[in-house]
């Protein structure tokens, strides 16, 4: 399996999309570190940090910040991770804008310059107001996102022709703006688990979409024999199922960390020294938790957290078995050089992810291992996105 191709066959924007993927990895890693270090509310306001562009550093600034936010005193080891994460995410946003500009410039269509310019000007104004007044003017941020999405949707429905992907970069740009909105709500709604999980999944989705765009811009599908191609067509539904199951497992992992349930089962292979401990699934998967309390540290009782953790473990077993079935099919039944290489990649990433999951428990949940577990989980999603892209774009020789 070849991920990259000669520069003559690549479409414009390939290197930029690849840089976007690298930025997305850093944003995911910083986000995981911020969350796992309990720094999600290291800056209680948004988009500033205690009213600062960076964070308060001098004793005078810290004293002023503590008086302004008496319920959230400054903790220096928690302010900088949050703001560094925000600025890297902002940088990723600029990259997605650049990718969209490349797509627009390469598209052959009549451009509605006046309308689009007006809509984008409104969006810039709303964004500027939001940046100045922060969470007090939260409706303006929602309006900014709405205007942007309407603009991108209008462009997407305009007829045009080009080999350059257009709708995917437009969707990525709209999605990352929405992701920024979830980042704001993560702070303003005080780590409400539903928002934290959605923000985490949004980060994985952004990373996956950027990688999919990179694959499309690389423009090199598998070239297979007639028999192998027919087998691959029959394999498509299993590849899609594999991607869905991995995404569900990632969502379970997000719900686990959002509700601080990772430490609910500190032993292996049992949980709380029992094979089937007491669990409260109704409370553990209650998605109607109210907005208002500070969810830092979690609010669920132990039986609810055990239910979440136990479900994540069972999901890991199901995911592993399904991916091993996919590997067997790719390596033994289809058995082309491309599919065998793909199978090897899946196995290596799967083994690493399972090892990190076990290491979390065996080494008592160190932050470094937990962050690595998040990043390799994202890598596993990318591998499945790659598999599906290769399966659905493969050509017959």
Contact 18, 218 (CB under 8 A): no
Contacts with 278 (C-beta within 8 Å, 6 or more apart), sequence order: 303, 306
Residue of 54, 45, 166 whose CA lies nearest to 107: 166
d(CA 205, CA 21): 11
Q: 108-112, 216-220, 263-267, 341-345 — which is least confidently predicted?
A: 108-112
Mean pLDDT of 65-78: 90
Contact 296, 260 (CB under 8 A): no
Residue of 89, 298, 334 whose CA lies nearest to 197: 298
pLDDT tier at 185, thresholds 50, 70, 90: confident
pLDDT tier at 164, thresholds 50, 70, 90: confident
Q: What local confidence, expressed as pLDDT, does residue 147 receive?
A: 61
Q: What local confidence, expressed as pLDDT, does residue 80 receive?
A: 92
Mean pLDDT of 344-367: 94
Contact 286, 298 (CB under 8 A): no
d(CA 189, CA 182): 10
Condensed to tens digits (0 to 9), the pLDDT of residues 82-100 reads 999 999 998 998 899 889 8
386 CA to centre of own chain = 16
Query: Please, what is the average pLDDT of the chain?
Result: 86
Q: What local confidence, expressed as pLDDT, does residue 206 receive?
A: 95
Q: What local confidence, expressed as pLDDT, does residue 4 receive?
A: 43
Mean pLDDT of 148-159: 59
Contact 218, 3 (CB under 8 A): yes
Please say if the pLDDT value at position 217 is more than 70.
yes
85 CB burial (10 A radius; 0-12, 13-18, 19+): buried
What are the catalytic residues? 82
DSSP H helical segments within 329-366, as ranges? 337-362
Collapsing DSSP to helix, strand or coil, 296 comes out as: coil
d(CA 2, CA 220): 8
Condensed to tens digits (0 to 9), the pLDDT of residues 306-330 reads 999 999 999 999 999 999 999 999 9
Mean pLDDT of 154-180: 76
Does 369 sit behind a cis peptide bond, omega within 30 degrees of 0 on the bond before it?
Answer: no
Residue at token pair 């949707």 = 153
Q: What is the DSSP string of 78-108?
A: HHHHHHHHHHHHHHHHHHHHHHHHHHHHH-B
Is pTM, for the whole model, over 0.75? yes
pLDDT above 70 covers a percentage of the chain that reads 84
Phi, psi of 287 (to 5 degrees): -95, 15
Please say if the pLDDT value at position 391 is more than 90.
yes
């Amino acid at each position: 399996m070849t991920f990259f191709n000669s520069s003559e066959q690549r479409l414009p924007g390939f290197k930029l999309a690849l840089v976007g993927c690298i930025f997305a990895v850093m944003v995911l890693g910083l986000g995981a570190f911020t969350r796992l270090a309990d720094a999600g509310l290291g800056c209680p306001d948004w988009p500033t940090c205690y009213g600062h562009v960076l964070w308060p550093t001098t004793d005078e600034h810290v004293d002023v910040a503590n008086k302004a936010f008496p319920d959230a005193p400054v903790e220096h080891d928690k302010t900088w991770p949050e703001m560094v994460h925000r600025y890297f995410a902002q940088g990723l946003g600029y990259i997605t804008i650049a990718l969209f500009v490349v797509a627009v410039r390469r598209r052959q269509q009549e451009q509605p310059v006046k309308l689009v310019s007006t809509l984008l000007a409104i969006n810039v104004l709303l964004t500027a107001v939001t940046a100045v007044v922060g969470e007090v003017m939260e409706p303006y941020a929602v309006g900014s996102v709405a205007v942007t999405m309407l603009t991108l949707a209008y462009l997407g429905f305009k007829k045009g022709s080009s080999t350059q992907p257009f709708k995917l970069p437009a969707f990525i740009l709209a999605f990352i703006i929405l992701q920024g909105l979830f980042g704001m709500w993560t702070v303003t709604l005080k780590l409400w688990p539903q928002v934290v999980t959605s923000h985490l999944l949004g980060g994985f989705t952004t990373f996956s979409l950027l990688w999919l765009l990179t694959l499309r811009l690389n423009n090199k599908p598998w070239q297979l024999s007639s028999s192998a191609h027919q087998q691959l067509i029959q394999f498509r539904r299993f590849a899609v199922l594999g991607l869905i199951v991995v995404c569900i497992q990632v969502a379970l992992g997000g719900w686990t960390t959002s509700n601080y349930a990772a430490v609910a089962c500190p032993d292996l292979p049992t949980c709380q020294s029992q094979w089937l401990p007491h669990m409260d699934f109704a409370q553990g998967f209650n998605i109607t938790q109210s907005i208002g309390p500070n969810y830092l540290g979690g609010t669920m009782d132990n039986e609810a957290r055990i239910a979440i953790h136990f479900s994540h473990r069972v999901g890991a077993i199901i995911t592993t078995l399904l991916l091993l079935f996919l590997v067997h099919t790719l390596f033994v039944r289809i058995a082309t050089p491309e599919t065998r290489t793909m199978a090897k990649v899946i196995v290596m990433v799967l083994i690493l992810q399972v090892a990190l999951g076990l290491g979390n428990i065996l080494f008592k949940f160190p932050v470094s291992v937990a962050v690595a577990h998040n990043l390799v989980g994202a890598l596993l999603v990318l591998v499945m996105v790659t598999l599906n892209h290769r399966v659905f774009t493969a050509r017959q020789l």
